[in-house]
Chain A
Amino acid sequence: MPPSSTVPLPRWVLAGAVAGALFLLLPLAAVTAEVNWAEFIPLVTSDASLAALSLSLRTAAASTLLCILLGVPLALVLARTRFPGKRLVRSLVLLPLVLPPVVGGIALLYTFGRQGLLGGTLDLLGIQVAFSTTAVILAQTFVALPFLVLTLEGALRTAGTRYEAVAATLGARPWTVLRRVTVPLVLPGLASGAVLSFARCLGEFGATLAFAGSLQGVTRTLPLEIYLQREADADAAVALSLVLVVVAVAVVGLSYRSAPGRSASTRSAAGRSAPAGAAG
């Protein structure tokens, strides 16, 4: 906890802060107020809802795993190596953060779609990616990967290379150093990154719609289901929205709990370990 400042903030800053907080909270309150509580359970347990929820959870889990597999090496290379054009590579890695997801979806379509860059090759192998559950996972991974890379790269930089150097002088090969020193030290950062990626995957809409379509049980994730139900059955849309809100709150809570763990890697640089494991 940072010490509260002895110099008071101007009042208009506080007013702005209140307005900002309200702006974020009011819509959530409004949605919650709209929920038809009598029908809530049937609405969120309908076949379509359960199919969408289950698909969302399964694809988000798979995408998060893929993010870890691709993002950990990427973060390691960005944090620990020097090569020409590294700034450019980092900007490109972060591109999906600022790119409209629909554009990402179209780009994926022109890469993995039947007419796409790799489409012909994949076709020969008998693999059809577009408009399948695989496409959902690829779309989610595409938009969520930067979250994991950013968080982990930050954690790696904070942890520094001194422990790794000590490990090497003790005779540990690079793989041993990575497995027994680097990864354990940034585990809290990796966990935060994975949680954030999972949350981003769960909320993914535009890229999924453009690249995977909206087929119930196959590609229609929860956000797509909510969007479809919005006109057909507003009550269902609101109830499912609330489910997503609850999941999002849980995710934010989780990553906040692991936040002290991140600062623990800074503290451990001073030779102290993290009591945060118990606190978090």
Chain B
Amino acid sequence: MALRIQAELPDRGVDVAFEIGDGETVALLGPNGAGKSTVVSLLAGLVQAENGRAELNGTILFSLSNGKGLSLPAYRRGTSLLAQEALLFPHLSAEENVAFGPRSTGTSRRAARAAARRWLAETDAAAFASKRPGELSGGQAQRVALARALAAEPDLLLLDEPMAALDVETVPVMRRLLKRVLAGRSALIVTHDVLDALTLADRVLVMQEGRIVESGPPAEVLRRPQNPFTASLAGLNLIRGGVSGGRLVTADGLQITVPDAGAAAQAAGALLAAFPPSAVAVRRPGAPGTADPGREVLSVTVTDLEPQGDRIRVRGAGLAADISPAAAAELSLGVGEQAEFLLDTSAVTSYAATAVPG
């Protein structure tokens, strides 16, 4: 195990515990304000926990109780940080920026220079070695910043939304680059992009309101989301409820038939059902239609209509339905009107709600 952390910071409502294996890349997902950046700062030594303990490759980063105890300063932690902005030192060339880490830890000028060259080449930024940060584009600067973070030879690489400030065109390049350099490296990457989690991470942690609420391999977490945020990342509708007569009944009174409800419900108190918005059709109430056993009819009030790619997303009762623009035009539904959602039950996955980990 490379990293083991348990930390509590009541001021910011953060209370987390997780581990990162040797060479494992873990993605930390969560809505804005969930405390993801605070976790990064706790690890980097830029913010101090109130209570908790963290250990990285056998070195204790902090061991605190009521704000007192041991806490290594940032420069002795071996946790390089790459943030949203490159933050290259503006008075140094790209190469000097990358050499900064090695120079700071006592490497000779010559060896630091060689290391800088090597890491710049590794991040496809060798061409910018002699440039000043002001002469670089956002994507180029971020590649140099990545080289700089790697050149410090961190035990744990911290990436705090490293692609959030980049142009849309440069993101795929950066993602490929990260995929390459993160292979076999212990790293924590904060992101709000589900694609980052899928392509870069061996495991994802989902954080909400200062706590880690889900954890597991990306495919598993996205296939069986446990909370609305993860479901929205996975692009799924999620409903939660109890089981009654082989049907899932939510607190709002919504009910649907779910496959294998009995077995799932025995595992835990609550049952979750997930289904994609494309499995939901929409019609006006009372419209003629055949009674189809494979379809559930849910009466909803339309709360929102928005374009979603080449479909129109209709929202109601906390659920989303994607219909074609032609169908939307035919229905000419407005916000606040009544509608019926027709759910194709063969597209529903149901599973037990797990106890919140950690």
- Show the binding face of A for B, using Cβ within 8 Å: 162-163, 165-174, 176-177, 180-181, 184-185, 187, 264, 268, 270-275
Contact = CB atoms under 8 A, between A and B. Distances in A.
Interface string B166-183: 000000000000000000
Given A271-B138, A272-B134, A273-B132, A170 B87 contact: no
B93 to A, nearest CB: 10
B80 A170 contact: yes
B133 A272 contact: yes
A162 B158 CA distance: 15
A171 B152 contact: yes
Contact of B104 (A173, A187, A268, A274): A173
The 3 nearest A-B residue pairs measured at CB:
A273-B134, A273-B90, A268-B90
B75 A172 contact: yes
A14 to B, nearest CB: 38
Given A165-B74, A272-B134, A170 B86 contact: no
Contact of A163 (B81, B89, B104, B152): B89
A185 B85 contact: no
Contact of A169 (B81, B88, B89, B91): B81
Interface string B60-96: 0000000000000111111111010111111100000
6 contacts: A165-B46, A167-B100, A170-B80, A180-B100, A264-B90, A268-B134
Given A271-B86, A271-B87, A273-B90, A171 B75 contact: yes
Contacts of A273: 90-91, 132-135
B162 to A, nearest CB: 13
Interface in B151-170: 152, 158
Given A169-B46, A169-B74, A274 B90 contact: yes
Contacts of A176: 104
Given A168-B73, A171-B101, A163 B87 contact: yes
Contacts of A167: 89, 100, 104
B152 A272 contact: no
B141 interface: yes
Nearest to B136: A271
B104 A166 contact: no
Given A172-B100, A273-B132, A273-B133, A181 B90 contact: no
A173 B132 contact: no
Given A166-B81, A173-B75, A271 B88 contact: yes
